[in-house]
Amino acid sequence: MTTKKANLIAYDPSGIFLDDTGVSPADLRALAPRLEAARTEVLDEDLRLLAEGVVPKEKDPLDAAFLELPERILAEYRADQSGSELGRILQTARRLQNAVDRVVVLGIGGSYMGARALMDACCEPYFNELDRGQRGSRPRMYFEGNNVDNDASQGLLKLLGNGRPAETIEDRWAIVVISKSGATLETAAALRQFMAALKQSLGGDSQKLAKLVVPVTGTSGKLFNLANALGCNELFRVPEGVGGRFSVLSAVGLLPAAILGLNVVSLLEGAAAMNEHFRTAPAGENAVLDYVGAGHLLEKESGATIRVLNVWSKALESVGLWYDQLLAESLGKEGRGATPITAVNTRDLHSRAQQHQQGRRDKLFTNLIVDSWRCDPLRVGHSELDQDSLNDLADKALPEIMTAAIQGTNEAYHGDGRPTADLHLPQVDEFYVGQLFQMLMLATVVEGRLIGINPYGQPGVEFYKKNMNRILGRR
């Protein structure tokens, strides 16, 4: 079992060791040499091949540069706070905070899911509903370009004024568009539509438009060319050797996070702390390796091909959805790979629990638990109207009820031989969310190496794109 250390996420797989699963602590210990060999491959061989630029066919693509990204960005920032990439991100964020009241992030998949997860996890609940003062003058943030939903796009354009002249800061808005190539149809179409509305709101002024469209893209491609044609004041890079779903700790996630006023330095420091833990802790004390080992054993020994991430905080739902993409795109290949599902509890105990409790025995339940809530405990409270029969719980607070729900759910699952594991987040802030992102990314690539599946690339995604373009009459 992973030991809990100060300032680190803790992982406890003891709930998988049940008679019905056929998995014991000895099995996890026996897997340790293979887990540590996979770690060595990820840390040494993959990074060496990437640095040399000679990638064998079986490892192509090799997007392993995310591994060292937190340390590199932090080192550059500490050496040159104004001229470094992170320094420029922070400067752009401050400029937009002072210029606009809304920012629309256009991107799909890894180009927006990490940013959305950061907003939902680290901002105040109902952030976009707060007035500008309550938001600390930080812009509201919306996410589009991730679908071709006509009504959703029209609804957001209407909210933004449908091109109405931007006379006050409350009327002004900006676009952050994220796409490595700029060729993804959903994002490209949205950029054209939203940019037309933004230009109209600026009275057709192209110079003002260039200041309020901030691209995050590659060093070439359609979006890069469009940004140059627009004369965009700032342009940030999607790093080479970093795949979209592994890019949350690059400008892809850092720019939206900085615009929201989040502590992006702490976010990167958390990821770097997880890297250090991953590199140095042995199996049995290593959250990443033990997480991989538990999932692998349950899939192999008891057919647990569905991995349910039970998120016990609404703030972490988007983190779960980000992880759904990470696991599905990375390991869902060659007719293999576990299926990820995110459940938000206690909400989804009233929709999914029946199937989870008495349905097929093909699931591993991982509880993502918040140990310390950011707000003061809210008690049920005493009432003269006790028709709801809650006065016996009047002195109980919501965190106590949540703890009872987690314990009660685990006991119910264990009573029927259904495996669980607990992943403890000391609190929800940038440092620990950075740890969580990095842990799950590391675990995903380690498992890929363990089972012989390349965790990078997503060749299956290209099929729908080709068919969609053909049906639309495009080559």
Q: Which two tokens stand for residue 319?
A: 């983190």
- pLDDT range class, residue 1, cuts 50, 70, 90: very low
pTM: 0.96
Under 8 Å CB-to-CB from 107, ≥6 apart: which residues? 115, 143, 145, 146, 177, 178, 179, 187, 252
3-state SS record for 378-435: CECCCCCCCCCCCHHHCCCEHHHHHHHHHHHHHHHHHHCCCCEEEEEEEECCHHHHHH
Query: End-to-end alpha-carbon separation of the chain, Å?
Result: 54
Give CA separation, 369 vs 74, 157, 265, 346, 372, in Å: 28, 37, 24, 12, 9
| Least confident among 5-9, 68-72, 344-348 | 5-9
Burial (CB count within 10 angstroms: exposed 0-12, middle 13-18, buried 19+), residue 415: exposed
Label the pairing between strands 213-217 and 10-12.
Answer: unpaired
Q: Does domain 10-59+283-380+387-451 have CATH number 3.10.129.10?
A: no
Contact 422, 369 (CB under 8 A): yes
Q: What is the strand order of the sheet 102-106 is part of?
A: 140-144, 102-106, 173-178, 213-217, 236-237
446: amino acid identity, one letter: V
CATH superfamily of 66-264: Glucose-6-phosphate isomerase like protein; domain 1 (3.40.50.10490)
The answer, yes or no, to whether residue 4 has pLDDT greater than 60, is no
Q: pLDDT at position 466, please?
A: 87
Average pLDDT over residues 259-286: 98
Secondary structure E strands in 145-258: 173-178, 213-217, 236-237
Name the average pLDDT for the chain. Answer: 96
The candidate with the shortest Cα–Cα distance to 210, out of 186, 183, 234, is 234
What are the beta bridge partners of residue 309? 342, 366
pLDDT digits (tens, 9 = 90+) for 28-49: 999 999 999 999 999 999 999 9
pLDDT digits (tens, 9 = 90+) for 95-125: 999 999 999 999 999 999 999 999 999 999 9
Q: What is the strand order of the sheet 363-372 is part of?
A: 10-12, 420-427, 363-372, 306-311, 339-344
Residues 45 and 311: their CA atoms lie apart, in Å, by: 34
Catalytic residues: 329, 350, 465
- pLDDT range class, residue 475, cuts 50, 70, 90: confident
The residue ranking higher by pLDDT, 5 or 93, is: 93
- pLDDT range class, residue 2, cuts 50, 70, 90: very low
Contact 434, 267 (CB under 8 A): yes
pLDDT digits (tens, 9 = 90+) for 384-431: 999 999 999 999 999 999 999 999 999 999 999 999 999 999 999 999
Q: pLDDT at position 6, please?
A: 54
pLDDT digits (tens, 9 = 90+) for 183-237: 999 999 999 999 999 999 999 999 999 999 999 999 999 999 999 999 998 999 9
Quick check: helix, strand or coil at residue 245?
helix
CA 374 to chain centroid, in Å, comes to 20
Under 8 Å CB-to-CB from 118, ≥6 apart: which residues? 248, 253, 256, 257, 260, 262, 267, 430, 433
Domain with CATH 3.40.50.10490 in the chain: 10-59+283-380+387-451, 66-264
Q: How many CB atoms lie within 10 A of CB 83?
A: 10
Give CA separation, 85 vs 104, 237, 315, in Å: 22, 9, 28
